[in-house]
Structure 1
Amino acid sequence: MLHLRLISPPERTEDVVRLIERTVGTTHLVVLPGAARDPAGDLVLCDVAREAGDPLLTGLQRLGLEDEGAIAVENVDLTLSRRAEQAEKDAPGEAADAVLWDHLTEATHEESTLSATYLAFITLATMIAACGVVLDNAVLIVGAMAVGPEFGPLAGISTATVRRQPRLALRSVVALIAGFAVAMAVTVGFSWFMDALGLFSERQLESDRPNTAFVYAPDWFSFIVAVLAGIAGTLSLTSAKSGALVGVAISVTTVPAAANAAVALSYGDTWQTWRSSEQLLLNLLGIVLAGTLTLVLQKWLWSRQPRKVNAV
């Protein structure tokens, strides 16, 4: 269930209440006239089944609440109510399949913002991966994959494409390019520093690395895995199953490929640098393509769900 907290101008409250009452899957409607102070208006509370949430939010936006009032949405972890159970039964579709497009846009907007924290995470992940490729340590590679935050901008590009939001697309592309550029530049310096300490060496980079050689060996399997990971990651975002993102993060060779390219560049190995860059671009392309197609398919399937209206 979702809990909605609405601030409505008094002249629109009747329309808001009517919309909620006519939306199948809503319950626990509360109206507190004049309770809101900033902005001034009526406070309207209700619960709605997740699968009925997006149509209701769209209707509330059309009534102008986004501009003249406020719309706040919270996930409800537990509701002990027969009315709530009935509302979820009445709502068309399944909650796990429902997409809250405004929530997805907001989440990807936040995750695709080029911030100091984002740069810190992607840089640290790339430096950890650099240690992994030089030491041929798969554990460090997996750890670096889990730390890397690059799926946020990739999801932002897919979301922006489907929702036709050029600003979100631009923000995501900038975060992606700038993030990897900064991370790789810092990792080059990190490699020189580690080499000066005698902890990295060109011999380690050029030797056989059975555990990490895949990071500079792009092939069709790399692309296929990236596509599958893109689908899984997108589904985890739209269904609010964020735990699955960890599995997605450690299944694609983005940060490790960037790290290998940076270390190879620090030693002047243009062949490994190029091959690692190919691996990186191939994975990024696969994730964005899969994410976009997944969202398009979800949007199409959900549009074919039968809609019900309460007889009020």
Structure 2
Amino acid sequence: MLHLRLIAPAEKTDDVVRLIEGTIGTAHLCVLPGAARDPAGDVVMCDVAREAGETLLGGLRRLGLDTSGSIAVESIDLALSKRAEKAEEEAPGEPADAVLWEELTEATHEESTLSVTYLAFLTLATMIAACGVVLDNSILIVGAMAVGPEFGPLAGISTAAVQRQPRLALRSAIALLVGFVVAMAVTVAFSLFMDAVGLFTKEQLEGERPQTGFVYAPDWFSFVVAVLAGAAGTLSLTSAKSGALVGVAISVTTVPAAANAAVALSYGDTVQTWGSTEQLLLNLFGIVLAGTATLLAQKYFWARQHERLRRRARA
């Protein structure tokens, strides 16, 4: 269930209440006349099944409540109410399958912002992966994959493509490009330092690496895994199952490939540099492609569900 706290101008309160009452899957409607001060108006609260949330939010936005008042949405972890159970039964579909596009856009907007924290995480992840590829240590590679925050901008690009939001696409692309350029540049300097103190050697990089040699040898399996991970990551975002993102992060070789390219570049090894760069680009493309296709499929599915919901409401 979702909890909505709305601030509505007095002249729009009746329209808001009628919309909530006419939406299948709502419960616990409360109206507090004149309770809001900034902005001034009435406070309207209700709970709605996640499956019906997008329909209700769309109606509230059409009423202009997002500009003349306020719309706040919270997830309810526990609701002990027969009315809530009935509302969820009435709403079509399953809560885990529901997509809240506003929530997804907001989440990807935040995750795709180029910030000091984002750059720090991506740079540290790339440096950890650099240690992993030189030492041929798969544990370090997995750890670097888990630390890397690059899935946020990738999801932002997919969301922007489906929702036709060029600003989000540009913001995500800038975060992705600048992030990897900065992370790889710092990792090159880190590799030179590690070589100077005798902790990295060219022989280690170019020797037999059974655990990490795949990061500079792109093939069709790399693309297939990236596509599968992109679909899984997108589903984890839309269904609010963030725990699955950890599994997605350690399924693709974006950060390890960037790290290997940086270390190889510091030693002048163009073969590994280009191979790792191809691996990186192949993974990025596969994730974006799968994420976009997954969101398009979900959008089509929920458009049909919402149309069915509107027909039931009119009946």
TM-score category (smaller protein): over 0.9
Structure 2 residue aligned with 1:304: 304
Correspondences of 1:61-210 after superposition (within 5 Å): 61-210=61-210
User: In 1, Cα distance between the equivalents of 2:50 and 2:304?
Assistant: 17
Measured against aligned partners, the alpha-carbon deviations of 1:40-68 in whole angstroms (never above 9, x if no partner) come to 00000000000000010010001011001
- Offset of residue 301 of structure 1: 1.2
8 A contact 1:21–1:310 mirrored in 2? no
User: In 1, Cα distance between the equivalents of 2:284 and 2:260?
Assistant: 16
Structure 1 residue aligned with 2:19: 19
Structure 1 residue aligned with 2:264: 264
User: In 2, Cα distance between the equivalents of 1:310 and 1:4?
Assistant: 20
Tell me, what secondary structure is at the counterpart of 2:92?
coil
| 1:78 partner letter | L
User: In 2, Cα distance between the equivalents of 1:310 and 1:219?
Assistant: 51
Tell me, what secondary structure is at the counterpart of 1:5?
strand
- Offset of residue 282 of structure 1: 0.1
- Offset of residue 92 of structure 1: 1.0
User: In 1, Cα distance between the equivalents of 2:79 and 2:304?
Assistant: 29
Q: TM-score, normalised by structure 1?
A: 0.99
Tell me, what secondary structure is at the counterpart of 1:273?
helix
Tell me, what secondary structure is at the counterpart of 1:283?
helix
User: In 2, Cα distance between the equivalents of 1:146 and 1:310?
Assistant: 45
8 A contact 1:9–1:69 mirrored in 2? yes
- Offset of residue 302 of structure 1: 1.3
Runs of 4 or more, structure 1, over 3 Å off, are 308-312
8 A contact 1:126–1:255 mirrored in 2? yes
Structure 2 residue aligned with 1:45: 45
Tell me, what secondary structure is at the counterpart of 2:221?
helix
Report % sequence identity: 78
User: In 1, Cα distance between the equivalents of 2:221 and 2:236?
Assistant: 22
- Offset of residue 93 of structure 1: 1.1
| 2:141 partner letter | I
Aligned Cα root-mean-square deviation (Å) = 0.9
User: In 1, Cα distance between the equivalents of 2:299 and 2:170?
Assistant: 22
Which stretches in structure 1 are left out of the alignment for 5+ residues?
Answer: none
Determine whether 1:31 maps to 2:27: no
User: In 2, Cα distance between the equivalents of 1:311 and 1:135?
Assistant: 65
Q: Count the aligned residue pairs.
A: 312
Measured against aligned partners, the alpha-carbon deviations of 1:244-296 in whole angstroms (never above 9, x if no partner) come to 00000000000000000000000000110000000000000000000000000
| 1:179 partner letter | G
Q: TM-score, normalised by structure 2?
A: 0.98
Tell me, what secondary structure is at the counterpart of 1:304?
helix
Tell me, what secondary structure is at the counterpart of 1:218?
coil
